[in-house]
Amino acid sequence: MSLIDLQSWLLQEGIREDLDKIIRLTVRNELDNLAPDISAPSTEPIDWPKLILAGSILARSEKRTDQDAALRIATAAVTLKDDQALTDAGIVLMGKLSNFRAITLATERSLVATNLHGRLGVSLHLEAQRRDIDHAILVQSSGAWLPVNDFQQRFWANAVGASWLSASAPTASGKTFLVLQWLIDQVIAGESRVVVYLAPTRALVSEIETSLKRLLGNSELIDVTSLPFPVNYRTARAGGARIIYIFTQERLHLLANVLDDEFSVDLLIVDEAHKIGDNQRGVILQDAVERITRANPELKAVFISPATENPEELLTDAPIGVQTVAVNSDSSTVLQNLLVAAQLPRKSKLWELTLRQQDSELPIGTLQLASKPVGLKKRLAFIAAAVGERGGTLVYTNGAGEAEEVADLISQLLPELESIDPELSQLAELARKGVHQDFRLAPLVELGVAFHYGNMPSLLRLEIERLFRLGKIRFLVCTSTLIEGVNLSCRTIVVRGPRKGKGHPMEPHDFWNLAGRAGRWGDEFQGNIICIDPEDTQAWPEGIPNRARHHIKRESDAVLELGDSMENYLSKRGKSDLSNMKDKDKFEQVGAYLLTTFMRLGSISAASLAKRHDAASIAKLDQTLGSLADKIEIDVDLASRHPGVNAIGLQRLLEAFRTYSGDVENLLPANVSSNDSYDRFITIMGRINEHLFPAFTPQGRIRLYALIVVKWLKGYSLAKIIRDSIDWHQEVGRSFKLPELIRDTMELVEQIARFRAPKYLSAYMNVLHFYLHEIGRKELIEDDLDIGTQLEFGVSSTTLLSLMELGISRMSAVTLYENIARDDLSRKECIEWIAERVNQFQAMNIPAIIIREVRENLSLFD
């Protein structure tokens, strides 16, 4: 019998019965409010020596199921029995799996007696020592040895040199932690002076920025910023502090536009790199990677993605001659229990829990609910509150409104706490002062429950995540923002009929991206995923998805594979009225990318993407692109500055400027302090809709969009924008629901003021500047901060900009700015202002979390 045959026999027959017994016992330990176990106890006791031996054989396999079984045996040996020899054996088995964090956890929980090495025989002791040495890496910058697992070790070994690397591993493999360590090492001990870390969501950007700053402490050697300002770049290039920029793909282009020919990056890291396949923003990410590579073909690039089956796909566009290497891992570090919950017939308070495994099911027990769950929201809330009572419980909902309601229901089932933790009180204070006195989040967090969605201000969201990690928030109700790239793991996830975005059932890889968050490596031995109503086809149209990994495919490739659709779209785009164009969401961004690529190269057959598609369709596209490009006078540099904005649109806008009969000064946005500003934005947005792209639709909402843009640029706080909206509703006698009004305002800020407006207004300004040069009116061009940057950060005054340059969030910057009289303070003057008054901040009614953020960023400690 070969080793593989032996491993397979062990799982199927050899230890199956005992393995099921320990699975059942370990899983039951994880769940709260189970009815007492009434199943007939097995007469045969568990054969532990056999299990341990089987575990060590399975640990040598590379198959995920074998590794999982070995980890299950190790975990059971450590946690189920109070038997020193057995626990020691479990620890040795964890060592064989190089799961050092599980060993540390067992030690921290005093599950293993001290001096383990003394109890092991000589050969086991030597073997363990050798493993420790084998599975440690030297961090050059600090001289420290870091224990690592197999994936981490392979990453570290392959990341040396100039080659491009693409690494993929499931959530909770210690990817981000290791990459950040490696990054710091590269910048301190290596040659990289300018690093760009691309993270495809603003949520992930702020998270990575915070983590890096914490890891670096007060290093004067490295600056970390998420603001696209050239000052750090120039300092780094001049030999001063090196710089790590953390950007979304859109923000990267803002920096590249300012620096123009100067722009060159030494090291690029792309996190959540599988998002190169996302609809609409995937191609912008691809464009960003290509732009950075064009600027410096010697660049070193590292891509990271969670559980993908083809990470090497990301390396196909590496410059010729650059070596590439993919590091892929599918092994888990924490046991993940996938459980389904189905109601017992006619007993709505009793729910049968069953564990789903590769090809079998295992009954685990019956969950008892405190009340009858009438309606779907209650079902989700009550099951979550019962099964995950001990905390670390994440509940997935299909929208921000639902998240609030489910959180509210859960909070009603929890016992009132004797006293409120001070950090929870501070979070509640921030929610009340930073959003609204009656924002639902505030009373909930006081009970240890929170909700979480993408449009929330980052300071608030990061604090929620931090307190959830600490266990102070016990239940977190989230939305798809979490799978869009927030590194947050939990002990238990509860989910029913998950959708991604608005209404689309989740694909298996997305579901497993979510499910993968169950299990905090180093904090827990197991993670649980509870799927409610598994047989309900409305909730789960395709059933509960089997474990799947993401298949990476660029958005551009996916669109090109649709046959002639892209070409048809481009032909129509050149002629027809934009408002009638169907499918513009699908094709506009990629169409823009193709046209710009054509304008740069003279043919897309010369582009890297051509090798992935058949020559005939590329030639056909080339012809269409050629006839479009013939009519475009906008130069390729201008078009490249605005990825996702079609050069045809830019040309149309230029033509509209040329036929404009009014005073050209009226084409420029009015300063936000001017009375004309709001109306001018209305007209400009209308012009953009008509000529460039219908970005601000429906037309009837333009006034609202313009209003938000003006308030945002004026540096108003979210709380003030919400208050103004309430006042307006009351003045004109319109009814409103507060939670909805708050959510809508947050959405307008994030989606319009910070996403659409910067993208299209900065393109508008660029074409206008082109036109002003053309007619000899360049004196009208002001050398101000680019409108895109102003909008993304919601700043128009020097003081507010200086505050944000210090690294504090907009929420904090705006709160301070409300107390600062002058609008022209430099960074240094802002620091002086803060240092003089920081001890009075509390008396000035500034929320404690804001005070803490300011102190941390300015190193002003009590």
Partner 1 sequence: MPAKPIHLGPMYFKKRGDAVEYLKKMLHRYDVGDRVNSDDAVILQAALEHHPDSAAKIGCGITDFSVRSADYGTKCFWVNRPDGTTEKFSITGSIHGK
Exactly one of 680, 691, 754, 759 binds partner 1 (CB under 8 A); that residue is 680
User: Does position 663 bind partner 1 by CB under 8 A?
Assistant: yes
The nearest distance, CB 759 to partner 1, in angstroms, is 21
Question: Is residue 679 near partner 1 by the rule CB under 8 A?
Answer: yes
Whole-number minimum distance, CB 726 to partner 1, in Å? 21
Q: Which is nearer to partner 1, 579 or 673 (CB)?
A: 673
- Closest to partner 1 by CB, 359 vs 663, is 663
Range in contact with partner 1 (rule: CB under 8 A) among 45-53, 315-323, 324-332, 678-686: 678-686
Closest approach of Cβ 690 to partner 1, in Å? 12
Q: Which residue's CB is nearer to partner 1, number 177 or number 678? A: 678
Residue reference for tokens 């040199």? 161
Q: What is the DSSP letter of 611?
A: G
What are 132's two structure tokens?
A: 């420790």
Candidate segments 345-353, 629-637, 675-683, 779-787, binder of partner 1 by CB under 8 A: 675-683
Q: Which is nearer to partner 1, 210 or 677 (CB)?
A: 677
Which region, judged by CB under 8 A, interacts with partner 1, from 575-583, 662-670, 743-751, 838-846?
662-670
Residue 616 or 821: which CB sits closer to partner 1?
Answer: 821
| Smallest separation (angstroms) from partner 1 to the CB of 778 | 20
Closer residue to partner 1, CB minimum distance, 171 or 689? 689
State the minimum distance, in angstroms, from the CB of residue 669 to partner 1: 9
Q: Which residues pair with 488 in a beta bridge?
A: none
- Provide the 10 A C-beta neighbour count for residue 312: 17
- Closest Cα to residue 529, out of 556, 506, 559, 555? 506
Q: Which is nearer to partner 1, 424 or 684 (CB)?
A: 684
> Of the listed pieces 139-147, 680-688, 740-748, 785-793, which binds partner 1 according to CB under 8 A?
680-688
Given a contact cutoff of 8 angstroms between Cβ atoms, the answer to whether 369 and 351 are in contact is: yes
Residues 6+ apart with CB under 8 A from 107: none
State which residue, 167 or 653, has the beta carbon closest to partner 1: 653
Asked if residue 676 binds partner 1 (CB under 8 A), the reply is yes
Determine if 761 is a binding residue for partner 1 (CB under 8 A).
Answer: no
Instruction: Please answer whether residues 762 and 684 qualify as being in contact, where contact means their C-beta atoms are separated by less than 8 angstroms.
Output: no
CB of 663 to partner 1, least distance (A): 5
> What are the percentages of helix, strand and coil residues in the chain, rounded to 5?
55, 10, 35
Minimal distance in Å, beta carbon 675 to partner 1? Answer: 5
Instruction: Give the shortest CB-338-to-partner 1 separation in angstroms.
Output: 55
Q: Could you give the CA distance from residue 849 to residue 834 in angstroms, rounded to a whole number?
A: 15
Q: What single DSSP character describes residue 518?
A: B
Say whether residue 664 binds partner 1 (CB under 8 A): no
The whole-angstrom separation of Cα 446 and Cα 69 is 40
Site string for partner 1, 629-658 (x = CB under 8 A): ------------------------------
Tell me whether strands 267-270 and 194-198 are parallel, antiparallel or unpaired: parallel
Stretch that binds partner 1, among 117-125, 242-250, 294-302, 682-690 (CB under 8 A): 682-690
In the list 358, 666, 839, 840, the residue contacting partner 1 (rule: CB under 8 A) is 666
Task: Report d(CA 790, CA 779) in Å as an integer.
Answer: 21
Length of the chain as a residue count: 862
* Identity of the residue, 385 or 682, whose beta carbon is nearer to partner 1 in the bound complex: 682
Q: Which residues does 735 contact at the CB level (< 8 Å), separation at least 6?
A: 729
Q: Pick from 296, 322, 325, 315: which is nearest to 554 by CA?
A: 315
Which backbone phi and psi does 225 adopt, to 5 degrees? -150, 155
Structure-block tokens of residue 340? 């389904």
Q: Is the dihedral of CA 534, 501, 749, 470 positive or negative?
A: positive
For partner 1, the closer of residues 92 and 702 by Cβ is 702
**Number of amino acids touching partner 1 (CB under 8 A):** 18
Calculate the alpha carbon distances from 81 to 53, 360, 469 in Å. Answer: 17, 26, 28
Toward partner 1, which CB reaches closer, 485 or 669? 669
CA pair distance 5, 14, nearest whole angstrom: 12
775 binds partner 1 (CB under 8 A): no
Residue among 641, 595, 699 at smallest CA distance from 263: 641
CB of 666 to partner 1, least distance (A): 4
In the bound state with partner 1, the residue whose beta carbon lies nearer, of 148 and 682, is 682
Q: Which of 97/713 has CB closer to partner 1?
A: 713
- Site for partner 1 (CB under 8 A): which residue of 9, 177, 229, 678? 678
Binding status of residue 670 toward partner 1 by CB under 8 A: yes
Please answer whether residues 386 and 367 qualify as being in contact, where contact means their C-beta atoms are separated by less than 8 angstroms. yes
Whole-angstrom distance, CA of residue 318 vs CA of residue 184: 24
> For partner 1, which is the closer residue by CB, 39 or 675?
675
Strands (E), 345-460: 347-356, 361-368, 393-396, 449-452
Among 39, 675, 735, 859, binds partner 1 (CB under 8 A): 675
* Coil, strand or helix at 362: strand
The verdict on 44 binding partner 1 (CB under 8 A) reads no
Stretch in the footprint of partner 1 (CB under 8 A) among 349-357, 424-432, 663-671, 716-724: 663-671
Q: Where are the beta strands (DSSP E) in 75-230?
A: 136-139, 144-147, 164-169, 194-198, 222-225
What does each C-alpha distance from 233 to 256, 293, 323, 818 come to in angstroms? Answer: 11, 17, 27, 30
Binding segment for partner 1 (CB under 8 A), chosen from 609-617, 648-656, 659-667, 849-857, is 659-667
DSSP per residue over 18-31, as a string? HHHHHHHHHHHHH-
Which of 65, 163, 279, 683 touches partner 1 by CB under 8 A? 683
Taking the C-alpha atoms of residue 18 and residue 142, their distance in angstroms, rounded to an integer, is 46
Which runs of consecutive H residues, i.e. helices, occur in 471-609? 508-515, 555-560, 565-575, 584-601
For 85, half-sphere exposure in the C-beta direction (CA atoms, 13 angstrom radius) is 4
The answer to the question of residue 67 lying near partner 1 (CB under 8 A) is: no
Q: Which residue lies nearer to partner 1 by CB, 372 or 777?
A: 777
Asked if 271 contacts 211 with a C-beta cutoff of 8 angstroms, the reply is no
| 41: enclosing H helix or E strand | none
Best CA proximity match to 141, nearest among 193, 185, 190: 185
- Give the interface segment with partner 1, choosing from 240-248, 387-395, 528-536, 683-691 (CB under 8 A): 683-691
CA distances from 425 to 419, 421, 428, 446 (A): 10, 6, 5, 6
Which of residues 681, 696, 712, 833 is near partner 1 by CB under 8 A?
A: 681
Subset of 691-750 contacting partner 1 (CB under 8 A): 703
Q: At its nearest, how many Å lie between partner 1 and the CB of residue 723?
A: 23
Q: Is position 682 an interface residue for partner 1 (rule: CB under 8 A)? A: yes
**Residue 407 or 684 having the CB closest to partner 1:** 684
Say whether residue 677 binds partner 1 (CB under 8 A).
yes
Are 591 and 287 contacting, i.e. CB atoms less than 8 angstroms apart?
no
Residue with smaller CB distance to partner 1, 358 or 673: 673
Which of residues 657 and 681 has its CB atom nearest to partner 1 in the complex?
681
Stretch that binds partner 1, among 11-19, 197-205, 220-228, 673-681 (CB under 8 A): 673-681
Please give the biggest Cα pair distance in the chain: 95
Query: What residue ranges bind partner 1 (CB under 8 A)?
Result: 661-663, 665-666, 670, 675-684, 686, 703
